[in-house]
Chain A
Amino acid sequence: MEKSCEQIEKLLVDYADGELSSGESSKVAEHLAKCERCRKTFQALERSMELAGVIWEDGLREIEDLGVTKVAAVRRFKWGRYAAIAASILIAAGIFRAWHSTTSHEEPTLTFAEVEQRIEQSGRAARLLAAAELLAECPDAQSIVEKQYRYIVETYPQTPAAAKAKSRIQ
């Protein structure tokens, strides 16, 4: 018996995902060949998922571009995030002062975006270092802590936290 559009519509997602039996799949294909309305619904199903994929990939690329890729932390302290923000501000002030002192007699060589990026990286590195220091209190977590220090050194080499992490490894 031929299926109605309503019945076919309920099967379209399973059809698109290859979840139907071959018999049911053939019936859906036959229906789509002659029903423009269902065909458009099917095309919209495929198209919307393709576009969702573009949006998801873009989100992932944005994350990767900004280098927020690897994170490790240990315990949650309520004050942790506030401390990280305070540390970031101090680091930002330090970077700005250092940058200002080296460029006060010349035209600045860094763009604002670059300064902002350095500040952000310093903040992240400081936060990761703080987490590693907490983890270091666990006696059986030394290998992870060392990996964490190495990660900070490799990922944020220009930051004060990287210098500290390096000294911990040595």
Chain B
Amino acid sequence: MNETDSDFAGETDHAAGERSSQSGFFEIFIAERDRLRRIVAGMGLGPADVEDVLQDVSIRVMRRSPKCQSPEDAVRWLVRVTINLCLMEHRRRKRFGRNASAILKRRSETLGRPERAQENIIRAEELEIVRESLQELDDSLLAALVLRYFCDLNSTEIGRVLRLSASTVRSRLREGRMILARRLTERGVEP
């Protein structure tokens, strides 16, 4: 049984008497929805997948209120389940589907001005390399990077969520970041 399966294995034996805690847990889910959405985006899934993943998280909340000692535990459970569901989606779908030019187009629309042409060419090339690298990055490294650099969790917090030691998290962050950096330099892009 893998890590993802074992996370969910206990869900089916949820006793009816625990139902009263469901509402409280569901409230936490509602409050944490933005953070969970951020994680799904960081993991490279598209808008349609976000709905699926968050719906699955909410279903798991309703089927089984995990035995959490505190609201912080409940949040960690939600983040872990969300990450695991993203990883399951990765096996079915292509992630980081938007290419660099589409990203830049939206960015210039958001900024309300086009970026200078030369700047754009360089950025597009760099962005494409990093996008491809994220796409190919091992799931375990991507999850650590997203939680650290997109969700601002520290190594200890990430360790609690992913059930890893802080030093393992640091080692994954080092490995993930060095892969991205090397891909940039190997392709001859001057940072």
Chain A residues at the B interface, C-beta cutoff of 8 Å: 9-10, 12-14, 16-17, 19, 40-41, 43-49, 51-56, 58-63, 66, 68-76, 124, 131, 135, 138, 140-141, 143-144, 147
The answer to whether B184 has its CB under 8 Å from any CB of chain A is yes
Residues A144 and B59 in contact, CB atoms below 8 Å apart: no
Residues A59 and B37 in contact, CB atoms below 8 Å apart: no
The answer to whether B58 has its CB under 8 Å from any CB of chain A is yes
Residues B59 and A44 in contact, CB atoms below 8 Å apart: no
Q: Residues of A contacting B103 with CB < 8 Å?
A: 54-55, 58
Residues A76 and B37 in contact, CB atoms below 8 Å apart: no
Q: Residues of B contacting A74 with CB < 8 Å?
A: 58-59, 62
Chain B residues at the A interface, C-beta cutoff of 8 Å: 19-20, 22-23, 26-27, 30, 33, 37-38, 40-42, 44-48, 50-51, 54-56, 58-59, 62-63, 96, 98, 103, 106-107, 110, 123, 126-127, 130-131, 133-134, 145-146, 149-150, 155, 170, 173-174, 177-178, 180-185, 189-191
Interface SS of chain B: helix, strand, loop or mixed? helix
Beyond A40-B191, A48-B130, A141-B26, is A62–B106 a contact (Cβ under 8 Å)? yes
Residue in B closest to A9 when the chains form the complex, CB atoms: B178
Residue in B closest to A13 when the chains form the complex, CB atoms: B174
Beyond A54-B107, A58-B107, is A17–B173 a contact (Cβ under 8 Å)? yes
Q: Residues of A contacting B59 with CB < 8 Å?
A: 73-76
